[in-house]
Amino acid sequence: MLTHDQIWNALDRLAERAGLSASALAKRSGLDPTTFNKSKRITPDGRERWPSTESVAKALAATGTTVDTFVQFIEDTARSVQAVPLLGFAEAGAGGYFDDGGFPVGKGWDEVGLPSVNDEHAYALEISGDSMKPAYRDGDVIIVSPGSPIRRGDRVVVKTKDGEVTVKELKRRTAKVIELQSLNPAHKDRIIDAKNVEWIARIVWASQ
């Protein structure tokens, strides 16, 4: 018999496999962004709320995942967890935490256990403030993979040579400039001269 936790864990694994948060998966599936959020899984009076068959089908279609793969997610309840270095977002602009390629180095990192990613250099940043709402809120944790390829439309962390660290969506990248779209409508998009970028890395997972 299927359990409530098995179904929701399978959806979480589906989102992780696609490099998405739960809300991003729902949005890509054409659903309300809160459809798969953890706060929606239990009703205010304590009853378990199950995802609808339609919402699961849309999530599978949006990620190009077969039903067989989703069933495997349900059956394999043992989720691998990886301890990754954790740094506060406000500290990320300081020197000594990253090398020139954007790989984590030095001391002062905490550790946090999060879903495993295929990058031994992956690390976590804890969001501070509300400048990245509604995509990321204060206290959310994002996993950054400096070893992952970056494509147009990916959410990325960018550090400039003057120490500014920002999270945006990559619109366009050429040899001369990097065009970034803001995640918060209240903030303007950015165009940064490529020679002023110290490093850029892809976000592969986010807590919600």
Which residues are known catalytic residues?
A: 131, 168
| DSSP H or E stretch at residue 89 | none
Give me the sheet containing 190-193, strands edge to edge. 110-115, 81-88, 123-126, 141-145, 197-206, 155-160, 165-173, 177-181, 190-193
How far from chain centre, in Å, is Cα 188?
21
> Residues 104, 121: contact at Cβ < 8 Å?
yes
